[in-house]
Structure 1
């Protein structure tokens, strides 16, 4: 039976905060499967999926691979400086175009020209993984952040720009959902306090959750590789 029949309330495009928009079911099932296969290829060495170690000596429970530029606590580099040291994989043109299309879908009716997305952080959440409240603050560009969800459903906590605490709003992100935040919400704190294991669509062939976070760096690549401002990946 169609899953939509079980929905008490329809899932519709919603502005969560000024500049922060949730678009449910934006990715069609075929596109979701294509993205999962692409993530599997990107996760392979060199510069593949790694466990991120924070400057305080801890580790993030979500593992990560980067495209375009390599994020590490707390800056960007052209090589996997906290991994195998290999050059970072390039940002595919088709993924950059998907980011532009996502901004158009979230900000429908806007006349602003979307910027070219040149960085992607792919986070993989296994059972029990989470992400603490953080800001995406290492970029020089103010272009919106694009977040694509694949696999298990999660609770996405979207907060304010002043602190990691309240006020915040919890949003359920399912496989195929789009979330875009820019403008006054570009530097809002956000995190993933919970992932519901085993909720991925069976046809996707994925155990766990993948989150693709697309960004515009606006960075001078000649000076990369040095620690930047505190922050964490989305």
Structure 2
């Protein structure tokens, strides 16, 4: 929204979990969207993720640096076209470090970001409560939103149930979680269709999650 009665401000949702509204300006959002569209092209492009139980995730995904599949990482798209995962660009790692610093302060992230999960949500897509627990690092997770707003549910580290806090994430918003909240459960119960900025040119929602793998050099 261009004008609001109460402007959105930085909020600490839980210890180590911070929401920074409008972190990416319009140009930054358009540049990131253009990159996402290139990453989504085959090979190793946007895919439907299938769970071990035979179900499918409603949000489609493309990975950079390391390919995530439930519940592990590989260097190829083992659950798709089996081609090598797309590389993780250095500029995206720099963006991740800047985001972590802006949210949590200097020194919040000390290792190099080397994983990106790019999820595309249409109006009916959801993401169940889960933890980002397949990495070997406890560096903060950086989450960037583009397009339609969503309800982002940030929970606790013990279970998928309450207590949790629902946060509205809009295009350009940043959410970072580390420290005590690094392994908190979180999900997206609802997307708000038709809420993307008119000038962005995106129908639906894109979410970029940047992580540090912590994998040994021998695995690279």
TM range (shorter): over 0.9
Unaligned residue ranges in structure 1 (runs of 5+): 225-234
Aligned mate of 1:46, from 26, 43, 46: 43
Is 1:80 aligned with 2:77?
Answer: yes
| Number of residue pairs aligned between Structure 1 and Structure 2 | 220
Is 1:167 aligned with 2:160?
Answer: no
Offset, 1:112: 4.5
Aligned mate of 2:23, from 13, 20, 26: 26
- The 1:212/1:113 distance shift into structure 2, 3 A limit, reads closer
- The 1:70/1:11 distance shift into structure 2, 3 A limit, reads same
Distance 1:111 1:60 in 2: 35
Q: What is the SS of the residue equivalent to 1:167?
A: coil
Offset, 1:219: 1.1
CA RMSD of aligned residues (A): 1.3
Q: Which residue of 1 aligns with 2:9?
A: 12
Per-residue CA shift, 1:117-167, capped at 9, x if unaligned? 000000000110000000000000000000000000000000000000000
Q: Output aligned runs, 1:92-131, within 5 Å.
A: 92-108=89-105, 110-112=106-108, 114-131=110-127
TM-score scaled by structure 2?
A: 0.97
Q: Which residue of 2 aligns with 1:189?
A: 185
- The 1:139/1:98 distance shift into structure 2, 3 A limit, reads same
Contact 2:100 2:108 (C-alpha < 8 Å) held by counterparts: no
Q: Which residue of 2 aligns with 1:136?
A: 132
Offset, 1:8: 2.1
Aligned mate of 2:210, from 204, 211, 214: 214
Offset, 1:9: 1.4
Contact 2:156 2:184 (C-alpha < 8 Å) held by counterparts: yes
Q: What is the SS of the residue equivalent to 1:160?
A: coil
Per-residue CA shift, 1:200-228, capped at 9, x if unaligned? 0011000000000000000136569xxxx
Contact 1:104 1:114 (C-alpha < 8 Å) held by counterparts: no
- The 1:151/1:62 distance shift into structure 2, 3 A limit, reads same
Contact 1:78 1:221 (C-alpha < 8 Å) held by counterparts: no
Distance 1:81 1:221 in 2: 21
Q: Which residue of 2 aligns with 1:61?
A: 58
- The 1:221/1:63 distance shift into structure 2, 3 A limit, reads farther
Contact 1:156 1:192 (C-alpha < 8 Å) held by counterparts: yes
Offset, 1:4: 3.6
